[in-house]
């Protein structure tokens, strides 16, 4: 089974996890390789693919690396000669293959039950399949946590921000205030995606409203909640880099991705946005609280129900699934604001536009 990685590490974790789970069920061997250019849209591999590839390779033994096979290896010959591959049907825009529109289940079993030796090539995102959290955590975190042991202390909150809007919801001030004001914590750590860094310090004269939105949230977290940027490259008292920085075989982008994911997945409390990489920070963790957008994250309840769901558009927070699969929210800001106005009107005879957040 050959799992072809593409896009960032978050997407690749979905892709390869799916391959491992299928292989475990059917007793197959998994190998991992980058998506070839001739299978990518416009023969172009997304730039963040290579950081993801190097990150995955660094936390898996070499036995899983397809490119480590010799050119005359029987498995390599079989896979190189295999012209058919299997894909899921979602997000086809990134994959240049007509079979993307075909039925995944039919193709999968048709190939699986072939009596001849086959190389099952997997090309897709595979983000709509159920995962076994215990098995997945043991697969990815053992070496990751050994190599990158630093993480927020118990009782501290880790917030991951991804500063993009074109297909991500970037939560606003009210969202974070509502969650933090109702959460017990001793410190707030900020984990910023690369595109967020320039928004951490506002540059006068910048008129991009998206960057302004990012800056307002980051500034609010730092000012009102004393949030601190997580130091990816840890330094000891003597100002020397530790084991994390000394992994000279990896560039800083790869080290940053791995170190931050390790820290997030070992944090006690998490607030994560709509992001594949952020999702894995929560899914691989044993956090006591994981706060997510209910519009974008799978409705999952694991390990005693440590997920809290929040709907910023509806102004409803701290949701849980009931026995019927419906969300029940503990906090409804619209109702709180309505009652506040009614109380002010009763006491003072006039309504205020202020809201309790």
- R_g over Cα of the chain: 23
β-bridge mates for residue 335, sequence order: none
Determine phi and psi for 122, rounding to 5 degrees. -110, 120
Q: What is the pLDDT of residues 188-204, one digit of tens each?
A: 999 988 777 666 655 55
Dihedral Cα 176, 181, 186, 187, nearest 10 deg:
20
What confidence score (pLDDT) does residue 43 get? 75
Q: How many CB atoms lie within 10 A of CB 50?
A: 15
Task: State the burial class of residue 277 (Cβ atoms within 10 Å of its Cβ: 0-12, 13-18, 19+).
Answer: buried
| Consecutive H or E run containing 133 | helix 133-147
Confidence bin at 255 (pLDDT 50/70/90): confident
Residue 285: name the closest of 129, 151, 128, 175 by CA. 151
Q: How far apart are CA 140 and CA 91, in angstroms?
A: 25
pLDDT value at 276 more than 80: yes
What confidence score (pLDDT) does residue 337 get? 87
What confidence score (pLDDT) does residue 82 get? 87
pTM of the predicted model, to two decimals? 0.85
Lowest pLDDT segment from 75-79, 174-178, 249-253, 276-280: 249-253
Q: State the first-to-last Cα distance of the chain, in angstroms, to the nearest integer.
A: 51
What confidence score (pLDDT) does residue 268 get? 97
User: Hey, is 353 helix, strand or coil?
Assistant: coil
pLDDT value at 253 more than 90: no
Q: How far apart are CA 84 and CA 214, in angstroms?
A: 44
pLDDT value at 356 more than 70: no
Q: What percent of the chain clears pLDDT 70, i.e. is strictly above it? A: 79
**DSSP states of 290-342:** EEEETTTS-----TTT-EEEEETTTTEEEEEE-TTS-EEEEEEHHHHHHHHHH
What is the mean predicted confidence (pLDDT) over 196-213? 64
Domains belonging to the chain, first-starting first, are 2-129 (no CATH), 134-334 (3.40.50)
What confidence score (pLDDT) does residue 343 get? 80
What confidence score (pLDDT) does residue 198 get? 64
Residue 275 carries which DSSP code? -
Q: At what angle do helices 276-283 and 133-147 cross, to 10 degrees?
A: 100
What confidence score (pLDDT) does residue 27 get? 86
Q: What is the pLDDT of residues 3-16, one digit of tens each?
A: 999 999 999 999 99
What confidence score (pLDDT) does residue 241 get? 41
Q: How far apart are CA 309 and CA 114, in angstroms?
A: 44
Q: What is the pLDDT of residues 230-242, one digit of tens each?
A: 987 654 444 444 4
What confidence score (pLDDT) does residue 281 get? 94
What is the mean predicted confidence (pLDDT) over 298-325? 78
**DSSP states of 150-219:** --PPTT-EEEEE----SSS----HHHHHHHHTTS--S-EEEEE-GGGHHHHSPPTT---HHHHHHHHHHH
What confidence score (pLDDT) does residue 348 get? 78
Determine phi and psi for 80, rounding to 5 degrees. -65, -35
Q: What is the pLDDT of residues 114-159, one digit of tens each?
A: 888 889 888 888 887 778 888 889 899 999 999 889 999 999 999 9
What is the mean predicted confidence (pLDDT) over 29-44? 85
């Amino acid at each position: 089974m050959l799992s072809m990685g593409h896009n960032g590490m978050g997407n690749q974790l979905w892709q390869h996890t799916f391959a491992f789970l299928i292989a475990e069920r059917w007793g197959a061997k998994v190998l991992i390789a980058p998506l070839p250019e001739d299978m990518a849209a416009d023969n172009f591999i997304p730039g963040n693919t290579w950081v993801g590839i190097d990150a995955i390779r660094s936390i898996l033994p070499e036995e899983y690396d397809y490119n480590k096979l010799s050119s005359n290896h029987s498995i390599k010959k079989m896979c190189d000669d295999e012209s058919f591959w299997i894909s899921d049907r979602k997000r086809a825009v990134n994959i240049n293959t007509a079979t993307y529109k075909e039925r995944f289940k039919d193709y999968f079993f048709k190939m699986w039950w072939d009596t001849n030796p086959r190389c099952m090539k997997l090309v897709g995102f595979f983000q709509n399949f159920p995962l076994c959290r215990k098995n997945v955590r043991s697969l990815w975190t053992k070496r990751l946590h050994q190599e990158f042991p630093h993480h927020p202390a118990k009782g501290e909150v880790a917030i991951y921000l991804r500063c993009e809007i074109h297909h991500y919801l970037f939560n606003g001030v009210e969202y974070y205030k509502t969650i933090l004001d109702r959460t017990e914590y001793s410190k707030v750590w900020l984990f910023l995606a690369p595109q967020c860094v320039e928004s951490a310090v506002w540059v006068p004269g910048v008129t991009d409203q998206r960057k302004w939105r990012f800056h307002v949230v980051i500034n609010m977290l730092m000012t009102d909640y004393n949030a601190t940027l997580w130091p990816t490259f840890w330094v000891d008292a003597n100002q020397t880099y530790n084991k994390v920085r000394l992994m000279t075989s990896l560039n800083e982008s790869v080290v940053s991705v791995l170190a931050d994911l390790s820290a997030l997945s070992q944090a006690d409390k998490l607030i994560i946005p709509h992001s594949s990489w952020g999702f894995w920070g929560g899914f691989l963790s044993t956090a006591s609280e994981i706060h997510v957008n209910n519009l974008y994250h799978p409705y999952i309840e694991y390990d005693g129900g440590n997920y809290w769901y929040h709907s910023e558009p509806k102004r409803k927070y701290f949701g849980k699934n009931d026995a019927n699969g419906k969300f029940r929210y503990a906090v409804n800001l619209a109702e709180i604001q309505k009652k506040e106005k009614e109380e002010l009107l009763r006491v003072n005879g006039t309504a205020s536009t202020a809201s309790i957040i």
